[in-house]
Amino acid sequence: MPTLKIVCAAASGFIGYEFAVAQQIGFPSVWANGVSPDKQPAFIADWWAHNASYDVGIIGGVVLCVITLWRRRRRAGSADLTSARVPLWPWR
């Protein structure tokens, strides 16, 4: 999973940088005074890479939850989740 995050972050940062250099995306006016115009593409690249890491982490977390629930349901051998022999929610 960390390798996937690294690849996605690097790709997203590169794409963000290229979009910023080509002026396909604008720089948020809230930060425009604090970042010089020549540093804005690098800032956008870092921003996109940071957000990509969070996005991959969130998607990975959801996928892990779905896989865990699917395995517990399959292990219980029942489609009825309320009467499953293996508890779907272990804290109950």
Q: pLDDT tens digits for 32-57?
A: 888 888 999 999 999 999 999 999 99
pLDDT of residue 81 exceeding 90:
no
Structural domain includes residue 19: yes
The answer to the question of residue 76 being in a domain is: no
Residue 87 lies in a domain: no
Residue 32: give the domain boundaries: 2-71
pTM assigned to the model = 0.71
The total domain count for the chain is 1
In a domain, 80, yes or no: no
Residue 75's pLDDT band, with cuts at 50, 70 and 90, is confident
Rounded CA-CA distance 90/71 in Å is 13
Residue 66 lies in a domain: yes
User: Alpha carbon of 50 to those of 13, 44, 87: distances in Å?
Assistant: 8, 10, 37
* pLDDT tens, residue by residue, 10-31: 999 999 999 999 989 988 888 8
Question: Does any domain span residue 41?
Answer: yes
- Has residue 78 been placed in a domain? no
Distance CA 49, CA 2 (A): 14
Residue 79 lies in a domain: no
Whole-angstrom distance, CA of residue 76 vs CA of residue 48? 42
